[in-house]
Amino acid sequence: MTWTVYLSGEIHTDWREQIEAGAKAAGLDVAFTAPVTDHGASDDCGVAILGPEPDKFWHDHKGAKLNAIRTRTLINDADVVVVRFGDRYKQWNAAFDAGYAAALGTPLIVLHAPEHGHALKEVDAAALAVAETPEQVVAILRYVTEGVLG
Protein backbone atom coordinates (compact mmCIF):
# COMPACT_ATOMS: atom_id res chain seq x y z
CA MET A 1 0.00 0.00 0.00
CA THR A 2 1.27 3.45 -0.89
CA TRP A 3 0.77 5.88 2.00
CA THR A 4 -0.19 9.46 1.21
CA VAL A 5 1.50 12.03 3.44
CA TYR A 6 0.39 15.67 3.37
CA LEU A 7 3.17 18.12 4.27
CA SER A 8 1.71 21.31 5.75
CA GLY A 9 3.38 24.32 7.29
CA GLU A 10 6.08 26.87 6.82
CA ILE A 11 7.38 27.52 3.34
CA HIS A 12 10.69 29.28 4.04
CA THR A 13 12.99 26.27 4.53
CA ASP A 14 13.64 23.00 2.70
CA TRP A 15 12.11 20.69 5.33
CA ARG A 16 9.72 19.15 2.77
CA GLU A 17 12.58 18.30 0.44
CA GLN A 18 14.53 16.77 3.34
CA ILE A 19 11.61 14.49 4.25
CA GLU A 20 10.98 13.54 0.62
CA ALA A 21 14.68 12.77 0.03
CA GLY A 22 14.92 10.78 3.26
CA ALA A 23 11.84 8.73 2.40
CA LYS A 24 13.20 8.06 -1.09
CA ALA A 25 16.60 7.02 0.29
CA ALA A 26 14.85 4.69 2.74
CA GLY A 27 12.79 3.19 -0.08
CA LEU A 28 9.49 4.05 1.59
CA ASP A 29 6.28 3.51 -0.34
CA VAL A 30 4.90 6.99 0.28
CA ALA A 31 3.50 9.75 -1.91
CA PHE A 32 3.75 13.33 -0.71
CA THR A 33 1.25 16.13 -1.24
CA ALA A 34 1.39 19.74 -0.08
CA PRO A 35 -0.26 23.12 -0.37
CA VAL A 36 0.90 25.60 -2.98
CA THR A 37 4.25 26.74 -1.61
CA ASP A 38 4.77 29.68 -3.97
CA HIS A 39 3.84 32.45 -1.52
CA GLY A 40 2.95 34.97 -4.22
CA ALA A 41 0.77 32.52 -6.14
CA SER A 42 -0.95 31.41 -2.95
CA ASP A 43 -1.68 34.99 -1.89
CA ASP A 44 -2.82 36.22 -5.30
CA CYS A 45 -4.58 33.20 -6.84
CA GLY A 46 -8.06 34.49 -6.08
CA VAL A 47 -7.66 37.85 -7.77
CA ALA A 48 -5.56 36.39 -10.58
CA ILE A 49 -8.34 33.96 -11.48
CA LEU A 50 -11.54 35.69 -10.33
CA GLY A 51 -10.67 39.34 -10.75
CA PRO A 52 -9.25 42.21 -8.70
CA GLU A 53 -10.52 43.39 -5.34
CA PRO A 54 -9.98 46.95 -4.08
CA ASP A 55 -10.24 45.80 -0.46
CA LYS A 56 -7.32 43.68 0.86
CA PHE A 57 -9.73 41.63 2.99
CA TRP A 58 -11.62 40.40 -0.08
CA HIS A 59 -8.37 39.93 -1.99
CA ASP A 60 -7.15 37.58 0.75
CA HIS A 61 -10.57 35.99 1.17
CA LYS A 62 -10.73 34.93 -2.49
CA GLY A 63 -7.26 33.41 -2.30
CA ALA A 64 -7.95 31.63 0.99
CA LYS A 65 -11.05 29.99 -0.44
CA LEU A 66 -9.27 28.75 -3.55
CA ASN A 67 -6.37 27.45 -1.48
CA ALA A 68 -8.86 25.71 0.83
CA ILE A 69 -10.13 23.62 -2.10
CA ARG A 70 -6.68 22.12 -2.50
CA THR A 71 -5.84 21.92 1.20
CA ARG A 72 -9.09 20.29 2.31
CA THR A 73 -9.05 17.81 -0.56
CA LEU A 74 -5.46 16.74 0.05
CA ILE A 75 -5.84 16.52 3.85
CA ASN A 76 -9.04 14.48 3.40
CA ASP A 77 -7.12 12.08 1.14
CA ALA A 78 -4.03 11.81 3.38
CA ASP A 79 -3.14 8.79 5.49
CA VAL A 80 -0.85 10.96 7.63
CA VAL A 81 -0.51 14.74 7.97
CA VAL A 82 2.81 16.33 8.93
CA VAL A 83 2.63 19.95 10.08
CA ARG A 84 5.83 21.99 10.41
CA PHE A 85 5.99 25.11 12.55
CA GLY A 86 9.06 27.17 11.70
CA ASP A 87 11.00 29.78 13.62
CA ARG A 88 9.76 32.76 11.61
CA TYR A 89 6.26 34.15 11.17
CA LYS A 90 3.02 33.16 12.80
CA GLN A 91 1.75 30.09 10.98
CA TRP A 92 -1.96 30.26 11.63
CA ASN A 93 -2.70 28.23 8.51
CA ALA A 94 -0.48 25.43 9.80
CA ALA A 95 -2.33 25.42 13.12
CA PHE A 96 -5.62 25.33 11.22
CA ASP A 97 -4.42 22.38 9.11
CA ALA A 98 -3.35 20.52 12.26
CA GLY A 99 -6.75 21.10 13.84
CA TYR A 100 -8.53 20.05 10.66
CA ALA A 101 -6.54 16.81 10.46
CA ALA A 102 -7.17 16.12 14.15
CA ALA A 103 -10.91 16.74 13.71
CA LEU A 104 -10.97 14.26 10.82
CA GLY A 105 -9.10 11.70 12.92
CA THR A 106 -6.19 11.69 10.48
CA PRO A 107 -2.92 10.77 12.19
CA LEU A 108 -0.93 13.93 12.84
CA ILE A 109 2.82 14.40 13.20
CA VAL A 110 3.92 17.86 14.35
CA LEU A 111 7.43 19.13 13.59
CA HIS A 112 8.96 22.07 15.44
CA ALA A 113 11.94 23.19 17.49
CA PRO A 114 11.85 22.45 21.24
CA GLU A 115 11.56 26.13 22.16
CA HIS A 116 8.08 26.25 20.57
CA GLY A 117 6.73 23.45 22.75
CA HIS A 118 4.88 25.68 25.18
CA ALA A 119 3.24 27.82 22.49
CA LEU A 120 2.18 24.69 20.61
CA LYS A 121 1.17 22.54 23.59
CA GLU A 122 -2.45 22.14 22.45
CA VAL A 123 -1.40 21.29 18.91
CA ASP A 124 1.19 18.84 20.27
CA ALA A 125 -1.48 17.24 22.47
CA ALA A 126 -3.57 16.48 19.36
CA ALA A 127 -0.60 14.94 17.53
CA LEU A 128 0.32 11.28 17.66
CA ALA A 129 3.99 12.26 17.41
CA VAL A 130 5.99 15.44 17.92
CA ALA A 131 9.31 15.54 16.06
CA GLU A 132 12.15 18.05 16.11
CA THR A 133 13.86 17.13 12.83
CA PRO A 134 12.87 15.99 9.35
CA GLU A 135 15.00 12.87 9.97
CA GLN A 136 12.76 11.94 12.89
CA VAL A 137 9.71 12.31 10.64
CA VAL A 138 11.29 9.94 8.10
CA ALA A 139 12.05 7.44 10.90
CA ILE A 140 8.43 7.66 12.08
CA LEU A 141 7.17 7.10 8.53
CA ARG A 142 9.49 4.13 8.13
CA TYR A 143 8.28 2.60 11.37
CA VAL A 144 4.55 3.11 10.70
CA THR A 145 4.66 2.03 7.04
CA GLU A 146 7.10 -0.88 7.35
CA GLY A 147 7.30 -1.71 11.06
CA VAL A 148 11.07 -1.24 10.95
CA LEU A 149 13.24 0.67 13.40
CA GLY A 150 16.48 2.34 12.38
Q: What is the mean pLDDT of residues 61-75?
A: 97
Convert the pLDDT of each residue in 7-28 to its tens digit: 999 998 999 999 999 999 999 9
CB 110 within 8 A of CB 127: yes
Distance (Å, rounded) from C-alpha 22 to C-alpha 97? Answer: 23
Predicted confidence band of residue 90 (pLDDT cuts 50, 70, 90): confident
Q: CA torsion angle for 62, 67, 72, 75 (degrees, to 10)? A: -160
Distance (Å, rounded) from C-alpha 141 to C-alpha 19? Answer: 10
Rounded to two decimals, the pTM is: 0.96
Convert the pLDDT of each residue in 93-150 to its tens digit: 999 999 999 999 999 999 999 999 999 999 999 999 999 999 999 999 999 999 999 7
